[in-house]
Structure 1
Amino acid sequence: MKYGIIGAGAMGYRYGVMLQKNAGVDVDFIDTWEPNVEKVREQGGVSVARDHKNRRIIPINIFYPEEYSGHPDVWIIFKKQMQLAEELDRDNAAGIFHDDQYVFSAMNGMGHFEKIAKYFPKNHIICGTAMIATRMDGPANVDFMGAEGTEVMHMARYTNEKPDEKTKAIADDFKKAKLNPIFADDWMEMCMSKVVFNAVTNTLCTMFEMQMGQFIEYEGVRAMARQLFDEAYDACERAGIYLIPTRQQQVDSVITVSQEYKYHYPSMYQDFSKGRPTEVDYINGYIAKIGREHDYICRTHEFVVHEVHMAEMMRKYHKPQENVADNNIQKEGVRQ
């Protein structure tokens, strides 16, 4: 099958390059960030490293929506939540969406599938989550974090129906790409399980400008995680959403994932450090919204949403610290 990537950012490049390289499928990239598109064209592709090593140029095809005339079988969408509606409107106006196409997305946060459903039939939408860390250090410059084969992702149909032949074929391509897909039965339970995880690691690391390994040095991390997880699980259960991991499994995963990616700044901090709005409203804010809709106040989640927005405001008074991961690698002689 042929794939089109909407959003040539950290995760868009990760999925597109791995599909192209490992699964041997045709991939086109659609992006609207001019420095990114023009850098790809200038250097003949995207610059890719893995764990800060073996950087090389991977040739890719990249287009602005208005100049694209291809017809992928599947769109893969990775945009920031606050940019998605405008992006989809522009892509639709460019005439690149077609009734026979399927669409997959594993974006952070919640709210994107409702937007995607305005342009695609619900039974053509495949929801996803990805426990995959990637850095984008500049236009057309990415670093895939973690050894190849450690990628973990889940997928489920937006209708919660069993996988049809097209969905199975997409999963087969993801498997060949070494993205390690796992099917889930319920898309909401699957996606909210990831949102709840991000509501701890992404948000707290951003508030304190910490790498994940620095975060778990603090002896109170388990207690902090448990407090946020308990609120999130209580809100979800009141809404009839039953998450895949247990509460204890979520707490344990904070430690194990942070150990694996100890030099990694989560994606929310990558936005924060570059002066961009964060997705906290679509993560902790979404959990709080579910709670209030079901007569439950997630006081901690509402508080940390305010704290992140306050930290965003404070960027006008001081610059966030640089990503010092590279220096740490050189000092300790370990991979990122």
Structure 2
Amino acid sequence: MKYAVVGAGAMGLRYGILLQENAGVAVDFIEPTQASLDKIRAQDNQVWKSRDHQERHQIKINIFSPEDYTGEPDVWIFFMKQMQLQETLERLSPKFKAGQTALGAMNGMGHIEKLQKYFDDEHIIGGTAMIATVLNDFGDVDFMGAESAGSSVYANLTEQPSQVMDNLLVDFQAAHLNPSYTENFMGTLLTKVFFNAVENSIATMFQSRMGQLMAYDGFLEGIARPLINEAYDAAEAAGIKLIETRDEMVAQVDYVSNVANPLHFPSMYQDFVKGRPTEVDYINGWIADLAEKHGTEAPNHRLVTNFVHLAEAMREFTPPVNKLAPDYTGA
């Protein structure tokens, strides 16, 4: 199959490069952010790729603006920030063709409803990825972890098998994205949202690596579990069953923090230190809204949402230190 990756940020570049280099399939990149597009074009349509800050080299890619793109992919893979997606879809809408599939593997919630305006339900796939990646700069991506590190999960919106899904899983396995398939659409998406509601938001507030959160002995039971319990209460009130139990979710936070990615700064932190808005409204804020919509409450998620926005506002007075910068020498 042929793929068009929309958004040449950290995860968009990782997916596209792995599909292009490992699976050997055709990949086009569509970059709606002009500064990023200009930077990559100035590098002769090449991007820098590293792994764990080592072996930095350039890779040639096919990259286009939404308006310039004339390709006809089988699958559009969307890796945008939630707040950027609607405008990008409007710019791309003349390019969409009947029978094409949209895969949304973005952080947070809100994108599926937007995709439904342009793609029918039979051609929408939701996905989540536990794959640590850092965008050092436009056109400069750093894969964190070993070649086959991380995993990803996908579900059709119809919760029924499809030939496109079968083909996609073959390509994604060859790309070393370690895919798996479920027939629980919302449960699949919310598993990652609930994880990010703990790791991403708290690490961003305290400008810490995931592993550093564990320096507080009460992190798992005093912070992670109350947030997870509120999120699961909201999901259960909405009639949504997660693919992991509450205890399994706490164990996942423990494992990722201590073993899988202890040195990783989550994507929300990467936005925060670069002065960009975070996606907290689409993660913790979305959970709080879900709870209230279905007759329960999630006050901790509402508080975390406000704390992250407070931290954003405080950047004016206490600019954060970008611990991802090449010249940073601290912890």
TM range (shorter): over 0.9
Query: Within 5 Å, which residues of 2 pair with 1:189-268?
Result: 189-223=187-221, 224-259=223-258, 260-268=260-268
When residues 313 and 331 of structure 1 are mapped into structure 2, their CA distance, relative to the original with a 3 A threshold, is: closer
CA contact (8 A) 1:263 1:325 kept: no
Matched, 1:182 2:183: no
SS at 2:35's partner residue? helix
Q: Distance in 2 between matches of 1:261 and 1:164?
A: 33
The size of the alignment, in residue pairs, is: 328
C-alpha distance after superposition, 1:139-185 (max 9, x if no partner): 10110111111220000001111x21121111111111110110011
Partner of 1:153: 152
RMSD value over aligned CA atoms?
Answer: 1.5
CA contact (8 A) 2:184 2:243 kept: no
Residue 243 of structure 1: how far off its partner (Å):
1.1
Partner of 1:279: 279
Q: Distance in 2 between matches of 1:164 and 1:217?
A: 45
Residue 42 of structure 1: how far off its partner (Å):
2.1
Matched, 1:315 2:318: no
Partner of 1:61: 62
SS at 1:55's partner residue? strand
Residue 64 of structure 1: how far off its partner (Å):
0.6
Opposite residue 114 of structure 1, the aligned amino acid is E
Partner of 2:125: 126
Q: Distance in 2 between matches of 1:325 and 1:83?
A: 25
Partner of 1:4: 4
Query: Within 5 Å, which residues of 2 pair with 1:78-157?
Result: 78-92=79-93, 95-157=94-156
Residue 72 of structure 1: how far off its partner (Å):
0.9
C-alpha distance after superposition, 1:100-131 (max 9, x if no partner): 21111210001101101100111001110000
CA contact (8 A) 1:47 1:142 kept: yes
Which ranges of 4 or more aligned residues in structure 1 deviate by more than 2 Å?
324-328
Partner of 1:32: 32
Opposite residue 321 of structure 1, the aligned amino acid is V
Opposite residue 239 of structure 2, the aligned amino acid is G
Opposite residue 312 of structure 2, the aligned amino acid is E
Matched, 1:50 2:56: no
Q: Distance in 1 between matches of 2:262 and 2:313?
A: 27
Q: Distance in 1 between matches of 2:136 and 2:262?
A: 18
Residue 250 of structure 1: how far off its partner (Å):
1.0
Q: Unaligned 5+ residue runs, structure 1?
A: none
SS at 2:95's partner residue? coil
Q: Distance in 1 between matches of 2:206 and 2:248?
A: 24
CA contact (8 A) 2:108 2:283 kept: yes
Opposite residue 70 of structure 2, the aligned amino acid is S
Matched, 1:306 2:306: yes
Opposite residue 76 of structure 1, the aligned amino acid is I
C-alpha distance after superposition, 1:287-335 (max 9, x if no partner): 111110111111111111111111111111111112158679x899xxx
Q: Distance in 2 between matches of 1:289 and 1:176?
A: 39
Opposite residue 129 of structure 2, the aligned amino acid is A
C-alpha distance after superposition, 1:203-227 (max 9, x if no partner): 1001111111111121111121111
Q: Distance in 2 between matches of 1:69 and 1:232?
A: 42
Match of 2:163 among 153, 162, 165: 165
CA contact (8 A) 1:264 1:325 kept: no
When residues 26 and 282 of structure 1 are mapped into structure 2, their CA distance, relative to the original with a 3 A threshold, is: same
CA contact (8 A) 2:7 2:78 kept: yes
Residue 276 of structure 1: how far off its partner (Å):
0.8
Opposite residue 234 of structure 2, the aligned amino acid is A
- The answer to which of 244-253 and 318-327 deviates more is 318-327
- The answer to which of 20-29 and 318-327 deviates more is 318-327
Residue 28 of structure 1: how far off its partner (Å):
0.5
SS at 2:215's partner residue? coil
Q: Unaligned 5+ residue runs, structure 2?
A: none
